[in-house]
Amino acid sequence: MTEQYNFKSICDLTTKTLGLPKDSLGLKSRKKNLHIGRCVAAIIARNEEEIHYENIGKVLNRSRCVVYHYEYVHDANLKTYPMYAEAYNKVYNAYKKSQSDKMVFAEGSQMKDHLLKNGVKETKKNDVLLKVMSGKSYCIIKTTYFDFSNQLKNIKLAMKNYHYTVNII
């Protein structure tokens, strides 16, 4: 779930940076500018965030095999396809700038305190554990099956200015 959310934000950044219509990367169009945008977004997601092929494919409405192809042709495209290289460099620089604007937590205890102060709630009788990671630190949030989707939404809101991932344990 978090990987798809992170990839959607990379797609939004890509469309904004390249001047494409919002949510256009998921269309079935074969227009060159959309194809290049899909390639660039997928490569940045794989190389920088290590987002799984399946999640990229779901957001782009494509097979995961297309993402394999994007990785395979990336180096050649950078060297021989000026339009692709220019788009990739432009989006990559915008991505790096946006990542440097986001903060990370140094300590897991600080992160847990931040989450609890911003609407995330823990339960004593837990069925599900949510591992929230930011930088090299992490914390565990205890929740129930019935409430874990609400807690994921609360975590998303509390961590909007932070670089983070969430795993369901």
pLDDT at residue 101, rounded to an integer: 74
Rg (CA), the chain: 18
In degrees and rounded to multiples of 5, residue 103 shows phi and psi of -105, 165
- The class that CATH gives domain 2-101 is mainly alpha
Annotated domain spans of the chain? 2-101, 108-168
| Nearby residues of 91 by Cβ (< 8 Å), 6 or more positions away | 13, 14, 17, 18, 40, 41, 44
Distances (CA, A) of 67 to 17, 46, 57, 131, 145: 21, 9, 7, 27, 33
pLDDT at residue 1, rounded to an integer: 52
User: Do the Cβ atoms of 40 and 87 come closer than 8 Å?
Assistant: yes
Which pLDDT tens digit goes with each residue over 109-148? 889 999 999 999 999 889 899 999 988 889 999 999 898 8
Instruction: Report residue 125 as tokens.
Output: 């009788």
